[in-house]
Chains A and B, each alone.
Chain A
Amino acid sequence: EPEVTQTPSHQVTQMGQEVILRCVPISNHLYFYWYRQILGQKVEFLVSFYNNEISEKSEIFDDQFSVERPDGSNFTLKIRSTKLEDSAMYFCASVEGVGGWTEAFFGQGTRLTVV
Chain B
Amino acid sequence: SQTIHQWPATLVQPVGSPLSLECTVEGTSNPNLYWYRQAAGRGLQLLFYSVGIGQISSEVPQNLSASRPQDRQFILSSKKLLLSDSGFYLCAWSVRRPEQFFGPGTRLTVL
A and B: partners? Answer: no
Q: Which residues of A contact B (CB under 8 A)?
A: none
